Structures are given as C-alpha cells and as structure tokens.
Amino acid sequence: MTWWRAARFGMFIHWGLYAIPAGQWRGQSIPGIGEWIMLRARIPVREYEQLAKQFNPTRFDADAWARLAKQAGQKYLTITSKHHDGFCMFDSKVTDYDIVDATPFARDPMKDLAAACQRHGIRLCFYYSQTQDWHHPNGDGNDWDYDETRKDFDCYVDEYVKAQVREILSSYGPIGMIWFDTPKRMTLQQSRSLVDLVHDIQPDCLVNGRIGNGLGDYAESRDNAIPGERLGEDWEVPATINDTWGFKTDDHNWKPVDELIRKLVDCASKGGNYLLNVGPTADGVIPEPSAERLRAMGKWLERNGESIYGTHAGPVQGLDWCRSTARGGTIYLHVFDWPSWGSLEVPLAVAKARLLADGSELRVTDSAISAPASAPDPIDTVIALDLRV
C-alpha cells in the first residue's frame, strides 16, 4: 500500500463503445451516466454490438493521456478494461467482443498505455466489471435480452471473469491495482477467489473494496461521495469532473478548478485518495474542459504538492474554513476561507509558520498566526506549521 498511500491523486478513465452514442440514442437524449446507455435505453445486445464496427479512435494518443496525468500531478491511472456493457477494451482470447477482434481500429490500446505509463512513471491500473455484464448471457444485469433466472452466474465468474482477470494481469507488465465494481450477487467465496487469483499472478497488485464482501486492500467510497470525516482505514473516492463517467455530448456541467482542488485537499485531509475521472471521446480525445482543469490542478500541486503527497490526515479536523494534512513533524494547514481580521486562530501549539508557496515566515503569537490582508492563494493557501515541543 506504500505507493498508493503516498499517491493521493489518480486519473480514472472511462472509455468504451458508449462514447459513440455519447448519451444519444435514436435521436433522444438518454438521461443518466453515459456508460449506462445500453441499460437505460434497453438496447438489445445484437444492436449495441454493431457499435463496435464504428469504433475507430484514430486520434488516440496513449502518450498524451499519460503526459496529462503526469502534468496533473496524478500518480496512477485506472482505465476501464471492461465496463458493465461487456465490451473488452483489451485483446481478450476468450471472446471476440473486444477492440482487436471487433473494431476497425483492430489494435490493443492498453499495450500503448502500459508503455506510456512506464515512460512517465505512472502506475497503470485496470477497472474490471466482475458482476454486471450486459452482453454475456450469464453476466448480471441484462434482463431485456436474457432471462435472469436462467443465468449460470457461477460459470460466468469461474470461466469468463477469471480468464480475463488472468489476461489483464499477464499481458501489460506490472499492474498497480484491479478496480472491481458493483459486487451485487458475488458470494464471499467468489470475492475471495478473485482476490487470491490477482495475488497469485501479481502479488503486489492491489484490489479495491468493491470486490465485495468486506474484502480488498482499501475501502472504496460511494461514487462522488467524499466522507464527512477522517476514517480509520485506507479509502479512495471515485469522482467525476462533470456528471458522467463515459463521454456524453450534452454534459457541460464541469466543476470549477477551485472546487476540484478543494475536493482533493479534503480527501487528503481525511486520509484518502481522489480518483478523478475523464471520459475520452470515441475518437480517443480527452475533452478539453477536463484537460484544462487537470493542468490547473497540476499547477497548484507544483507549488503545494508537499502538503498532499505522502501525507496523512492532519490534527485539525471538523472546521469549515480549513483542512489539515501532516507528514513527519510538519502540519500543513490548508486555508479555504481567509480571515479579514488579520489573524488565523489554530487549535495547536504553533512554534513556526511559513507560507508553503514562497517560504515566507508568518509571525506567531500565542498560537495565532498573523495573516496578510488578502489570501495569498484564494483557492487554498497552505501554511506549513512546526509545533512547540
């Protein structure tokens, strides 16, 4: 868990056939998250499959994606190898329903991504939907093509899921983590056997909490739900920049950069990781509104990364105007709301205070820190504190 705890910030990528309809089906806007379009519009398997013949992401550039993660200050990248729609974005030998066999692209983008991540020092991780599979006759969730009561789910897990988990762990070098989702009907025995399989093939590969039944190396929060307070365990929150995971043409509800930075800080202050999603288009491009926000987060992290990476939850908790993180003897106070009255009152025995961004010292009297009239950084001014011993 060492690298994962130090990382604090990762890139999530939802990319699949659903990027082609991008939220529109037969001239209608389908509400909800983009990658759920097959279920929301009850699209028959035989019809949805046809999308593969159009999937040709000629503008896909693995190096650009890994570079963007690097610029954003993200340390790992988790990409959908197979989402609930069942389409495999990697070259699978146990099905033809994959990007190499079923699309005009006919290449395995995960190979390029693995190489690009290696070059840029980003850990590659795979999302894999182990329960829901709306394409496989025995997978969970599709009741419009198949009779749910006649499915052999055990067989789907034993013969299909396990074979594919083996493939994604054997073909792309070291994998940081397998990100399972929506365990639903997984039994304890099934969750356990998948964890064991992952560790058999790559002992250092982590498994997230959504393997189900209380297993996994860390807890996964609900989608977009940052816990209200620090937790006594390792945790991560998967989060969107707009409202969808998979690309949708009509979702323009982009969160502002200051909100995204504060969410990252909020996570770090509670001892958790922020896994922030991008949904590339069907041509293979990360939408510019996402890219520009990520670059701005990276700029902030260039100045303030010391207060995020490798830190744990700080001692000041439960105040609205600030957050805190800590490493070694140093406390990092993250000031969201700057005081108009010239002093910051901190419930700590402060000996020394300096602005992290430029190193300048701030005067300290009786644990009150003299504050410049206006916030040096209106998003989050970080002050590094040494305590009296």
Residues that bind ligand H79 (CB under 6 A): 32-33, 35-36, 40, 181-182, 223, 238, 245
- Rounded to a whole number of angstroms, the minimum distance from the CB of residue 255 to ligand H79 is 16
- Rounded to a whole number of angstroms, the minimum distance from the CB of residue 14 to ligand H79 is 6
- Rounded to a whole number of angstroms, the minimum distance from the CB of residue 254 to ligand H79 is 18
| Closer residue to ligand H79 in complex, CB, 35/140 | 35
CA–CA distance, 26 with 257 (Å, rounded to integer): 35
| Closer residue to ligand H79 in complex, CB, 175/331 | 175
| Closer residue to ligand H79 in complex, CB, 36/65 | 36
- Rounded to a whole number of angstroms, the minimum distance from the CB of residue 268 to ligand H79 is 20
| Closer residue to ligand H79 in complex, CB, 33/364 | 33
Lookup: tokens for 105: 């692209």
Q: Give the strand order in the sheet containing 206-207.
A: 206-207, 177-180, 123-128, 76-82, 9-13, 272-278, 235-239, 219-220
| Closer residue to ligand H79 in complex, CB, 79/268 | 79
Q: Are 311 and 8 in contact (CB under 8 A)?
A: yes
| Closer residue to ligand H79 in complex, CB, 33/261 | 33
Q: What DSSP line would sit under 263-277, residue for residue? A: HHHHHHHTTEEEEEE
| Closer residue to ligand H79 in complex, CB, 35/377 | 35
Q: What DSSP line would sit under 322-346, residue for residue? A: EEEEEETTEEEEEESS--TTSEEE-
Q: What DSSP line would sit under 140-154, residue for residue? A: BS--SSS-GGG--HH
- Rounded to a whole number of angstroms, the minimum distance from the CB of residue 249 to ligand H79 is 17
Report in angstroms the alpha-carbon separations of 54 from 41, 105, 229, 258. 19, 9, 46, 38
- Rounded to a whole number of angstroms, the minimum distance from the CB of residue 239 to ligand H79 is 9
Q: Are 24 and 3 in contact (CB under 8 A)?
A: no
| Closer residue to ligand H79 in complex, CB, 182/367 | 182
* Residue facing ligand H79 at closest CB distance: 32
Q: Are 297 and 72 in contact (CB under 8 A)?
A: yes
| Closer residue to ligand H79 in complex, CB, 35/380 | 35
The label of the residue with tokens 């299909």 reads: 160
Report in angstroms the alpha-carbon separations of 116 from 8, 180, 321. 21, 23, 40
- Rounded to a whole number of angstroms, the minimum distance from the CB of residue 181 to ligand H79 is 5
3-state secondary structure of 40: helix
Question: How many Cβ atoms are within 10 Å of 89's Cβ, its own excluded?
Answer: 25
- Rounded to a whole number of angstroms, the minimum distance from the CB of residue 145 to ligand H79 is 17
The label of the residue with tokens 């990382």 reads: 7
| Closer residue to ligand H79 in complex, CB, 23/314 | 23
- Rounded to a whole number of angstroms, the minimum distance from the CB of residue 235 to ligand H79 is 15
Q: Which are the contacts of 104, defined by CB distance < 8 A and separation ≥ 6?
A: 53, 54, 55, 56
- Rounded to a whole number of angstroms, the minimum distance from the CB of residue 158 to ligand H79 is 23
Single out the residue of 161, 203, 222, 163 nearest to residue 186, CA to CA.
161
Q: For the chain, how are helix, strand and coil distributed in percent, rounded to 5?
A: 30, 20, 45
